[in-house]
Amino acid sequence: MDNSELLFNIQSQLVPKLLNYVLLGIGYMKIFTKCGVKGFWAWIPVAREYHIALCADREKEGRTYTILAAFGYAVSLVSYILQNDGISQAELPVAMIVTLMAFTLFITMLVYLTRIYNGLVKVFNRKKFWVPLLLVLDSIVAPIWGFSKKFQPTKKVVLETEADGAKVAGVDAAVVKDGLTVNIKDRTVIDFFRKRYLLKDIHMSIPKGHMVLLLGGSGAGKTTYVNAVTGYEKADASIVMDGRNVYAEYDRMKYKLGFVPQQDLMRSNDTVQLTLMDAASLRLPSSVHRAEKRKRVQEVLEQFGLTAVKNSLVEKLSGGQRKRLSIAMEFISDPDLFILDEPDSGLDGVVARSLFEKLRAIADQGKIVIVITHTPDRVIDLFDDVIVLAKDKTRTGRLAWYGPVQEAYAFFGKNSMEEILLSINQKEEGGEGRANEFVEKYIDYTKRKVG
């Protein structure tokens, strides 16, 4: 293919596509403006697919359609390169795969775009016949909808802003030399072209020897909080343990932080003792000699009541023994801060109570123990304090309370942790939807306490 033929092919393929893109961009830009979305998103590939879905009140479908569109642009580019370079016999299988992918993507995108345009037609209160017209002639129909005053949305896109959330105190907790000080300004992520706050304005100081309940509904930020405190996912924060900055000295401090996830990661065909020896090799500094590691394993076996089953296979353990082993694995490094995510999951009341009593004993050794559990009321007497995280109106995790358990009951005007949780949960989750109220009440409470 000579240069003139190549230029002709580029013009014949790209010019119509470019024209279509510009016309559709103009139409989308005007539609976006009518719907309360910034018009510049109409000119950004992939982003505009998501924002037309927002206008159509089809955000969920828009997320999937946006991902498909990103793949679609990539496949189109590869297909275009192959076509213009010419396809050799060796490249034929690749071309066939690309063609199949392109066809599959086209069909799937068509399904989701149909759903989105159905939503758009509904939002603009138009007849259903507009859906096929939008699908086939979108670059012509979109400008008509955008420029004509007859086409007006019945609802606008409401994007949550920081101003919609509960107020911010912005006052750091005083650093304690003997304990944990948490000052989280915020933890953010970019979620589909928007900055989203996961946590904001969380400040507290936890003294050693305290066992603390971490309470919060689904999506309130419990896991994000734990990850920020342990340094697993850093926030815009200052986390200080015993006067040392966890983030700045992470390589040293990580041995002082223990986290037990809900799901254990043990090999079922290993013995209890071998499991703990492996844990010691992973969680203790390399400078610790093997004899010291063996000694530490024996101490932990005794502490968690596992000496009698040290030669048993993990798969032969009872549910309670398995839980104790998973906790012992993390406790092998003798952490000063010990965090556990639902350690009582799957255990009956008696076994769970016994497990929490062991955690209470660990706290009494001068450790800080923070526990997430979905059944706190059956063991609440073992806790000193409770951290209550709540989603405000912007679905950001906020601190609604940190302090003694008994004072929490009075603060929320409730008689149980379950009732407290219901009071801060969103109404669509079956709660009272009072998160903003209690977040702001707690800010006023702390200001009065300091003053």
* DSSP state, residue 173: P
pTM for the whole structure: 0.81
pLDDT in the model for residue 91: 57
What is the pLDDT confidence band of residue 39, given thresholds at 50, 70 and 90? Answer: very high
- Among positive and negative, which fits the CA dihedral 39, 44, 47, 49? positive
* 123 and 231 belong to one structural domain: no
Number of domain units in the chain: 2
**Are residues 384 and 297 part of one domain?**
yes
What CATH number is associated with residue 180? 3.40.50.300
257 with 141, same domain: the answer is no
Q: Which residue reads 């697919």 in tokens?
A: 49
Contact criterion met (CB below 8 Å) for 180 and 359: no
* Among 141, 129, 134, CA closest to 117: 134
Chain-centroid distance of CA 368 in Å reads 25
Give the sign of the dihedral formed by CA 248, CA 253, CA 257, CA 263.
positive
Contact at 8 Å (CB) between 294 and 277? yes
Choose one of 123, 147, 171: the last residue of a domain. Answer: 147
Does residue 349 have a pLDDT over 90? no
Tens of pLDDT, residue by residue over 165-222, are 778 888 899 999 899 999 999 999 988 888 889 999 999 999 999 999 999 998 899 9
Classify residue 131: in a domain, yes or no: yes
- Residue range 58-82: mean pLDDT, rounded: 83
Q: What are phi and psi of 316, to 5 degrees?
A: -90, -5
pLDDT in tens, 242-296: 999 999 999 889 889 999 988 777 888 899 999 999 999 988 888 889 999 999 9
DSSP string across 23-48 = HHHHHHHHHHHHHTS-GGGGGSTTHH
Structure letter (DSSP) for residue 217: -
Q: Which domain holds residue 28?
A: 3-147
Rg of the chain on CA atoms, in Å: 29
Residue 368, C-beta contacts closer than 8 angstroms, at least 6 positions apart: 179, 180, 206, 207, 208, 209, 210, 212, 336, 337, 338
Q: Is the pLDDT of residue 415 over 80?
A: yes
Using an 8 Å Cβ cutoff, are 171 and 162 in contact? no
Residues 112 and 225 in one domain: no
Cα(18)–Cα(29) distance, rounded to whole angstroms? 16
Read off the pLDDT band of 27 (50, 70, 90): very high
Name the band, by pLDDT with cuts 50, 70 and 90, for residue 1: very low
pLDDT at position 42, please? 95
